[in-house]
Amino acid sequence: MRPDPDFLEILTANYNGFHNLRDPALSTSLWDKPEQSWTLCVARLFPDALITRTSFSYVAGASGHPWNVVPDFEIGESGPPTALRQLLDLAAVQTLYLDLLIVVTLNNAWLADAAAAWPNLRHLALRARKTSAITLSGFIPLIKQCPNLEKLDVTSVWRAFDIGLLCGAVNTNIEEVDMYHSGIVGKWISVFRCLVVMFLRN
């Protein structure tokens, strides 16, 4: 089914009146052709309309699964797609779950901006089908600038540990780290020591 081009505009226009909305979630189908995909429409239209609505500055949680975020190749951008950058405007977000269908340019700079933009962040889940450009050093801003962070799920979006990057960084609020299939390589005793430094209480 080809989405009605007016549907998302009507939807987002009316969202401005939902001042008590805290946790919008959008689920999309996997079997549509690319040119007819809801995920394609969401990536290009929905985030922009969502962020421009004043009521969404109070959003505490958001999820997109699966989310086919499309890189902005047509305008020559090399960083994260516009749809991901616009999420930084959700200043009150506490819970964010993103399951990316395709590889996008997630990098340490975007993660640093996210840490500064989301001071109340408690749960962050970033998932993708392949690893991104994020490295362990990219998570240092989250640990330092998000004091309420409790759960960090970074399955498949980061590359191998670079031991020693987090020396002295401690966050006593984190209780769970989910990193299965993360592609970690190297000596496991070094990884363990690094985690002990990061999460002293555990």
**Per-residue pLDDT reduced to its tens digit, 30-67:** 333 333 333 333 444 444 444 444 444 555 555 554 44
- Write down the pLDDT at residue 122: 85
- Write down the pLDDT at residue 36: 35
Mean pLDDT of 164-175: 53
Residue 140 — very low, low, confident or very high, per pLDDT cuts 50/70/90?
confident
- Write down the pLDDT at residue 108: 85
Residue 77 — very low, low, confident or very high, per pLDDT cuts 50/70/90?
very low
- Write down the pLDDT at residue 112: 92
**Average pLDDT in the chain:** 59
Q: Exposed e or buried b for every residue in 17-44, given b needs 16+ CB within 10 A?
A: eeeeeeebeeebeeebeeeebbbbbbbb
Going from the N-terminus, what domains does the chain have, and what CATH number goes with each?
7-198 (3.80.10.10)
Among residues 60, 128, 72, 133, which one has the least CA distance to residue 96?
60
Q: What pTM did the predictor assign?
A: 0.54
Mean pLDDT of 180-194: 55
Among residues 45, 52, 146, 40, which one has the least CA distance to residue 93?
146
CA dist., res. 20 & res. 149, Å (int) = 24
